[in-house]
Chain A
Amino acid sequence: MAAGSRATFLGVPRILGLAGRDGGRGGADGGGGPGGARAGRPAPAGSGFLSGDRPFPDAAREALGDTQLRRNLAHATGTIRAKRARVVAELDDWEELRTAGEAVKRATLARLDEHLVRLEEEVTARGGQVHWARDAAEANSIVTELVRATGQREVVKVKSMATQEIGLNEALAAAGLTVHETDLAELIVQLGHDRPSHIVAPALHRNRGEIREIFLREIPGVDPRLRAEPRDLADTARAHLRQTFLRAKVAVSGANAAVAETGTLCVVESEGNGRMCLTLPETLITVMGIEKVVPTWRDLEIYLQLLPRSATGERMNPYTSTWAGVTPGDGPRNVHLVLLDNGRTATLADPVGRDALHCIKCGACLNICPVYQRVGGHAYGSVYPGPIGAILSPQLTGVERNASLPYASSLCGACAEVCPVRIDIPSILVRLRAEHVEERSRARVPSAEALAMAAGAWVMSDAGRFAAAGRAGRLGRALGRRRGRVSTLPPPLSAWTASRDAPRPPEETFRDWWSRTRAPRDGQARHNPTAPDDPTGREGPTAPDDRRARRARRARHDQETR
């Protein structure tokens, strides 16, 4: 309970927490207020960088117009997909690992309260301090107060999705503190006054030439002859951050996992910036979502195989660090763990949607997604883009604040196939769409889509109406004469063609063609196609003559369409 009272001491009377929320975008909806709760759910929504200021289709349209962005995305996601496929194929127990990875997460969430309490006990017993944060504002206040208590003005940071989510950098800057992102990609994003676009490689949308420009502009004393080569750019980052690491007294990190039974935290990284932050400073503050806890040390043997192969296509990432509380003479003397809710308990309340909390943030679903590959991460608005973002963000914020994201998918299912913990992303997307539609109908907001569906139902429920509607469609032949495709329909159908082409309607509907060419004979055959006493003497639609005629028709058709 000491940790609980410490959290209260640190501060954060709720009212102050709410006032501080402006550090992040989208602070309008209260983390504490009942307005943020999913309908009928027991916990309020999260806040922070979890939604954009415009719907996905608008942002996506702009992104699609950026040819450089599309080239960068295609190149980077193509590279990583090939590497991932190669190293995943090496393991003949990959499916068993995925199944185990899913089961551990499911089992953990079913007893999440017990595991969190155990984690707190173990971390505290090893000299660490545990804090609890209901939402982004509270987490930001806790971290800000912890940094202030050290008397330091400067913080080094390890890349972390949780701190991106809560807008910690902005909150610390607002408190007058200087934050140094030390992951190369986060550094590129920070120096470029940009936003992350990928959960593993936040600067994926930038190519080497653009990164060189950013470094030349933002890092003092960079040689203007700097080449746009990954090797040279990485060396520049090393030189730039070296002194910062050596003098840093306070670091902030996230965590890939925390082991409840041992109080061990784990950070998986590549560059060594993580080790610098976790090892050299005197104070280490780790912000971790409550869903990251795993029950046993042994569970890490699963994720340390699934994560690196899925995330960067490596057999193992260069560096994995673990620590349990404080070790005298080795690393920070003050170790803090901030456990973050921020909409996670609201997500947990949905029997299907809660599986989104199984995510280990590998990014494989982004790299494989045909939508992400074309529009990139910014279009999703949230720090969690791609398929996982499309199911996680709306659940963390409440679907009303991310209403367009469940539709940012073609439901092709590739994401579920690559997911290392087998999250059924398409099913959760469909569920969220249903939730959104239900909410709209509860709120009595008729959408164009709902009206179209209602009209469609009326037409299709009557054969005569359906036939008439099909013939009416032929009027559309006035359009699309040149290419056989209609790229702009008149309103209200223009909503459909805004991002798609419609085919030019055919001269004849299928029903008309059927009754003209087939109806008299097949009409009889259909009633009793194989009856021996068939009065026409025919054997039904599979008679040899018939098959020949069909083949001839198909050949003619093929020739016409070729």
Chain B
Amino acid sequence: MSAREEILRRVRAANAAAGQPAPPRVPRDYRIGGDHPAGHPELVRRLSARLGDYRAGVVPTAGPSAPEVGAAVRAALTLAGVGAADPVLVPPGLPDGWCPQGIVDDAFAASVLGGFAAVVTGCAAACAETGTLALDGSPGQGRRALTLVPDRHVCVVRAEQVVATVPELLARLDPGRPLTLVSGPSATSDIELHRVEGVHGPRTLVVVLVAPPPPAFPPAREPRPGVEKRHQT
């Protein structure tokens, strides 16, 4: 008997020995939808606050146009410590104007990716309550290695991509695609269960929020107009 056949036989025998339990109905009375529809300013504000808790930077744009996003991306790169002459990586399909100086990925080897100061991408969706960005590798996001090897990641999130809850986030994603959920910069709690940001993944994450500036930022979270800096590495 092959291992496959034997394990399946054992599973059936075990369920029989345990009295053939019937599968219970799964009660899904936990929260599915959030308190606001996708893109609501309150969700954008919440996402921004959660990202701050993870010590990610947040840069809101002045408006939704490509030049306005481009200006915020430049500010985000500066915030991340990227100089004007440093090489910046972008995935194929990034909207025109978001990062004009970017060098488009051309199946670069991993060691080449490591030579870039930063990568600029979009995302597939974001979850406000957990401060999570989801990337699915479609145009404008690139293959998974792009947002992993460079030390700084600037991610552009459009307001309408922001949902409240984890169930809403997963409902927007295609499980057939390679997905990466990112919640802040890489971190570890392995030393005395004490959280430290910045291990193997990008040590700096800055999120560009494409939205009209949220109406009510807590003052402490706005050190200067337009640019919010939470973390220096």
Contact = CB atoms under 8 A, between A and B. Distances in A.
Contacts of A557: none
B4 A230 contact: no
Contact of A348 (B14, B24, B166, B191): B14
Interface string A199-214: 0011110011001000
Which of A96, A97, A201, A230: most chain B Cβ within 10 A?
A230
Nearest to B22: A110
Interface string A334-346: 0000010100011
Interface string A99-121: 11001101111111100110010
B191 A238 contact: no
Contacts of A208: 191-192
A330 interface: yes
A96 B26 CA distance: 11
Given A96-B29, A262-B175, A304-B166, A132 B13 contact: no
Contacts of A116: 7-8, 11
Interface string A231-242: 101110110011
Nearest to B180: A321
Interface string B168-182: 011100011111111
Contacts of B13: 42-43, 345, 349
B3 A7 contact: yes
Interface in B54-109: 54, 107
A327 B192 contact: no
A80 B193 CA distance: 6
Given A41-B14, A271-B201, A280-B145, A184 B24 contact: no
A66 B91 CA distance: 53
Given A106-B24, A231-B196, A320-B181, A113 B191 contact: no
B200 A245 contact: yes
A41 B17 contact: yes
A254 interface: no
Nearest to B189: A312
The size class of the interface chain B forms with chain A is: 35 or more
Given A97-B30, A272-B199, A305-B166, A341 B191 contact: no
Contacts of B17: 40-42, 349
Contacts of A238: 198-200
A176 interface: no
A172 B54 CA distance: 37
A182 interface: yes
A184 B7 contact: no
Interface stretch (A295-303, A443-451, A465-473): A295-303
Interface string B1-20: 01111111011111111110
B199 A100 contact: no
A324 B195 CA distance: 31
B213 to A, nearest CB: 24
B140 interface: no
B7 A319 contact: no
Nearest to A40: B17
B194 A230 contact: yes
A410 B50 CA distance: 39
B187 interface: yes
Given A272-B199, A327-B137, A75 B2 contact: no
Contacts of B195: 312, 314
A168 interface: no
B167 interface: yes
Nearest to A78: B193
Contacts of A104: 26
Interface string B193-219: 111101111100000000000000000
B90 to A, nearest CB: 16
B231 interface: no
Interface in A268-313: 270-273, 275-276, 278-280, 290, 297-302, 304-305, 312
Given A234-B191, A351-B19, A290 B11 contact: yes
A421 to B, nearest CB: 12
A233 B185 contact: no
Contacts of B186: 270-272, 318-319
A322 B179 contact: yes
Which of B28, B30, B201: most chain A Cβ within 10 A?
B30
B200 A132 contact: no
B46 to A, nearest CB: 11
Looking at chain B's contact residues, is the secondary structure mostly helix, strand, loop, or mixed? loop
A117 B178 CA distance: 22
A246 B200 CA distance: 11
Contacts of A203: 190-191
A248 to B, nearest CB: 9
B129 A315 contact: yes
Interface in A22-50: 40-43
B175 to A, nearest CB: 4
B3 A8 contact: yes
A316 B8 contact: no
A4 B7 CA distance: 11
Contacts of A298: 167, 170-171
Given A322-B179, A329-B143, A106 B21 contact: yes
A184 B190 contact: yes
A290 B14 CA distance: 13
A132 B15 CA distance: 19
B25 to A, nearest CB: 7
Contacts of B107: 329
Given A272-B201, A314-B183, A318-B182, A76 B192 contact: yes
A324 B148 contact: no
A93 interface: yes
B199 A271 contact: yes
Nearest to B17: A349
Contact of B10 (A76, A93, A242, A345): A345
Given A3-B4, A4-B2, A262-B176, A350 B18 contact: yes
A5 interface: yes
A348 B149 CA distance: 42
A540 interface: no
B132 interface: yes
A72 interface: yes
Contacts of A99: 27
Which of A12, A108, A134, A301: most chain B Cβ within 10 A?
A301
11 contacts: A42-B13, A184-B191, A201-B189, A201-B193, A211-B191, A275-B144, A275-B201, A305-B30, A314-B195, A315-B50, A330-B143
- Nearest first, the 6 closest Cβ-Cβ pairs linking A and B are A272-B201, A42-B13, A107-B23, A4-B4, A272-B200, A345-B10
Given A113-B15, A350-B18, 12 more contacts: A12-B3, A43-B14, A109-B15, A116-B8, A271-B200, A279-B145, A301-B169, A312-B193, A321-B181, A345-B14, A348-B11, A351-B18
Interface of B: 2-8, 10-19, 21-31, 50, 53-54, 107, 110-111, 114, 127, 129-132, 137, 143-145, 148-149, 166-167, 169-171, 175-196, 198-202
